[in-house]
C-alpha cells in the first residue's frame, strides 16, 4: 500500500501531496522536508529506490518535477515507478503535454485524476482509457452546468 505521494519541483517547492495514511500536519511537513532534501541531493544515475524509515521510497524525475512515492516493504518498486509514469501519462493526455504550470493552476484537477488512478493507497484503475473516460464524464457534468460565475470574474460581480 502506498503511504503517500509527493510532487515537488527542482527548487524544492511542493506541488501536490496525497497522504493515504493519516499524519498530523506537523509530521507531514517534516517528512516532506526530509524527503525533498534527500532526493534533490541524489545524482541522476543513482537508483530510484531508497530505504526510508520502515518504508521504501520510489522516485522519478520528469522535466522539472519530481514524483516521489512511499510504499511498504512488500510492495513492488518497479511497478510503483510505472504508477508514477501512468499518472504522468494521464496528466499529459488530459492537459495536452503537461507542464508544471498546469499542475499549479489546476491543482484540483490533478487531485481528481489521481483519485481515479489510486484509491486508499492502492491501484484502482490501470487502464488509461478508463481513467480518462471517468474524468471526461466529470467534465461533461460540468459543462452541462451554466458557468454563472463568468460575469463576476470579469469584474462584474
CB of 17 to another protein, least distance (A): 7
In 20-103, the DSSP E strands lie at 49-52, 55-62, 65-71
In the set 40, 77, 92, 93, which binds another protein (CB under 8 A)? 77
CA distance 100 to 102: 5
CA distance 36 to 57: 11
In the set 61, 92, 93, 112, which binds another protein (CB under 8 A)? 112
What does the block give as the cell for 43? 545524482
CA distance 72 to 2: 7
In the set 27, 37, 46, 63, which binds another protein (CB under 8 A)? 46
Determine if 156 is a binding residue for another protein (CB under 8 A). Answer: no
At residue 105, what are phi and psi to the nearest 5 degrees? -80, -20
At residue 14, what are phi and psi to the nearest 5 degrees? -75, 125
CB of 101 to another protein, least distance (A): 5
In the set 9, 14, 64, 92, which binds another protein (CB under 8 A)? 14
At residue 5, what are phi and psi to the nearest 5 degrees? -130, 135
Determine if 63 is a binding residue for another protein (CB under 8 A). Answer: no
CA 94 distance to own-chain centroid: 14
In the set 5, 67, 86, 87, which binds another protein (CB under 8 A)? 86
Binding site for another protein (CB under 8 A): 1, 14, 16-17, 21-22, 25, 29, 43, 45-51, 54, 72-74, 76-79, 81-82, 85-86, 95, 101-102, 104-109, 111-112, 115, 119-130, 134, 137-139, 141-143, 145, 147-149, 152-154, 157
Amino acid at each position: 500500500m502506498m503511504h503517500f505521494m509527493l510532487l515537488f519541483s527542482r527548487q524544492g517547492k511542493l506541488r501536490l501531496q496525497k497522504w493515504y495514511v493519516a499524519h498530523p500536519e506537523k509530521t507531514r511537513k517534516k517528512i516532506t522536508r526530509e524527503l525533498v532534501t534527500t532526493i534533490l541531493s541524489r545524482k541522476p544515475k543513482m537508483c530510484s529506490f531508497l530505504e526510508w524509515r520502515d518504508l521504501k521510497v520510489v522516485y522519478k524525475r520528469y522535466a522539472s518535477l519530481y514524483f516521489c512515492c512511499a510504499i511498504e516493504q512488500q510492495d513492488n518498486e518497479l511497478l510503483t515507478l510505472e504508477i508514477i509514469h501512468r499518472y504522468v501519462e494521464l496528466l499529459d493526455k488530459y492537459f495536452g503535454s503537461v507542464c508544471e504550470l498546469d499542475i499549479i493552476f489546476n491543482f484540483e484537477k490533478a487531485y481528481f485524476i489521481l483519485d481515479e488512478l489510486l484509491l486508499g493507497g492502492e491501484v484502482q484503475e490501470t487502464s488509461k482509457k478508463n481513467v480518462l473516460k471517468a474524468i471526461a464524464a466529470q467534465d461533461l457534468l460540468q459543462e452541462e452546468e451554466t458557468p454563472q460565475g463568468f460575469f463576476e470574474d470579469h469584474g462584474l460581480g
